[in-house]
Amino acid sequence: MSPSDMTVSQLGEFGLIDALTEVLGTSELGPDSVVLVGPGDDAAVVQMSDSRMVISTDAMVENVHFKRAWSSGIDVGVRVAAANLSDIVAMGAHPTALVVALGVPSDLPVEWALDVARGMKKEADRLNVVVVGGDVVASPIISVTVTAIGAPRERIITRAGAQVGDVVAVAGRLGWAAAGLAVATRGFSSPRVLVDAHRQPVIDYDLIQSAFDHAHALCDVSDGLVADASHMAKASQVQINITTEALAIADPLRDMGLALTENPMNWILTGGDDHAFLGAFDEANVPTGWTVVGQVVSGSGVTVDGSAFIGPAGHTHFAQ
């Protein structure tokens, strides 16, 4: 029986760890690697470029964040890696390494678990980030918890730097993943472009890094534009006024809104899984490719078109 036909219980814990390590390609590392001690010891050791260290952790749980019916292991691996890498990048930092804790049911096909690793590696490779270690545990449902570390640039960019007079601008898509989830939840697999947006975020890391020199404040939009703008407003002790006119409704979102009798602007204002980025800038210093969507004024909270936002402020994990 080849590993591709096996379940994880048939392969066993140590066999699975060996297979995952092989996929991640960190068992043999070149002399230029930042990895001083790779997988297989009590802990990994990484050579960082700075003694200041940025760290973030994000978990995804089966049937909460994804369903096997419409997401592959590769989708989940890309998504969880992207969620973590985008948190590091959002601090104005360069990601260095990931570790992963994988909870797997005994009857999970080995290939599904290896696909999670393949997806993580695919996204990590985009930023020359290595997966240096992990833990595999039994679990009745699949769970993937990734922790990313990175090295900040000289100036750490938090959410707290937005200044009265700044504009806020967005890089990346908004609402696509939320629309895709709405489609998939109803049992549809098309339009593919929306379902794919739910399966895997598409992050333009170069576009985010182009903001590092000028962003006064920066965050990834993981809770939704209104919710994350609220976090930025609170941390910066300012008010952020969003103008929906600046938020173009792409054709697939408009069409799907009509089909599902949903207002597509709600997906744009509250969807988080696209991992777009929100930055505050001097109006003269908005980087190319970023879209100005609002203003920073004195006050507190967030307005949308001049009013308090009526509707869900963003994704909440605990249904009442």
Q: Which is nearer to a second copy, 84 or 256 (CB)?
A: 84
- Candidates 39-47, 118-126, 165-173, 205-213 — which segment interacts with a second copy by CB under 8 A? 39-47
Q: How far is the CB of 165 from a second copy (least distance, A)?
A: 22
Q: Which is nearer to a second copy, 85 or 195 (CB)?
A: 85
Among residue numbers 55 through 94, which ones bind a second copy (CB under 8 A)? 55-61, 63-65, 86-88, 90-91, 93
Phi, psi of 245 (to 5 degrees): -55, -30
Q: Which is nearer to a second copy, 158 or 209 (CB)?
A: 158
Coil, strand or helix at 196:
helix
The 8-class DSSP code of residue 71 comes to -
List of E strands, 112-263? 130-138, 143-152, 167-171, 217-221, 239-242
CA 168 → CA 42, 282, 297, distances in Å? 44, 9, 11
Going across the sheet that includes 276-281, the strands are: 217-221, 276-281, 167-171, 291-297, 239-242, 301-304, 307-308
- Regarding 259 and contact with a second copy (CB under 8 A), the answer is no
- Regarding 29 and contact with a second copy (CB under 8 A), the answer is no
- Regarding 210 and contact with a second copy (CB under 8 A), the answer is no
- Regarding 20 and contact with a second copy (CB under 8 A), the answer is no
Q: How many CB atoms lie within 10 A of CB 279?
A: 28
Residue 300 near residue 239, CB atoms below 8 Å: yes
* Residue 191 preceded by cis peptide, ω within 30: yes
- Regarding 209 and contact with a second copy (CB under 8 A), the answer is no
- Regarding 31 and contact with a second copy (CB under 8 A), the answer is no
Q: Which is nearer to a second copy, 71 or 256 (CB)?
A: 71
- Regarding 178 and contact with a second copy (CB under 8 A), the answer is no
Task: Give the integer Cα–Cα distance in Å for 174 and 70.
Answer: 21
- Regarding 21 and contact with a second copy (CB under 8 A), the answer is no
- Regarding 300 and contact with a second copy (CB under 8 A), the answer is no
Structure tokens at 277: 């980025």
Please identify which residue in 219, 226, 302, 304 interacts with a second copy, judged by CB under 8 A. Answer: 219
β-pair partners for 94: 151
Q: How far is the CB of 221 from a second copy (least distance, A)?
A: 10
Q: How far is the CB of 139 from a second copy (least distance, A)?
A: 5
Structure tokens at 79: 């998504």
Residue 268 near residue 249, CB atoms below 8 Å: yes
- Regarding 279 and contact with a second copy (CB under 8 A), the answer is no
β-pair partners for 308: 303
Residue 72: which of 109, 116, 102 has the closest Cα? 116
What is the phi-psi region of residue 273: left when phi exceeds 0, alpha when psi lies from -120 to 50, beta otherwise? alpha
How far from the centroid of its chain's Cα atoms is residue 314's Cα?
15
Residue 201 near residue 177, CB atoms below 8 Å: yes
Please identify which residue in 19, 74, 78, 99 interacts with a second copy, judged by CB under 8 A. Answer: 99
Q: How far is the CB of 150 from a second copy (least distance, A)?
A: 8
The contact mask relative to a second copy for 122-161 (x = CB under 8 A, - = no) is ----------xxxxxxxxxx-x-x-xxxx-x---x-xxx-
How many residues sit close enough to a second copy to count as binding (CB under 8 A)?
76
Q: Which is nearer to a second copy, 45 or 164 (CB)?
A: 45
Q: How far is the CB of 222 from a second copy (least distance, A)?
A: 8
Q: How far is the CB of 66 from a second copy (least distance, A)?
A: 12
Q: How far is the CB of 7 from a second copy (least distance, A)?
A: 8
Name the pairing type of β-strands 167-171 and 276-281: antiparallel
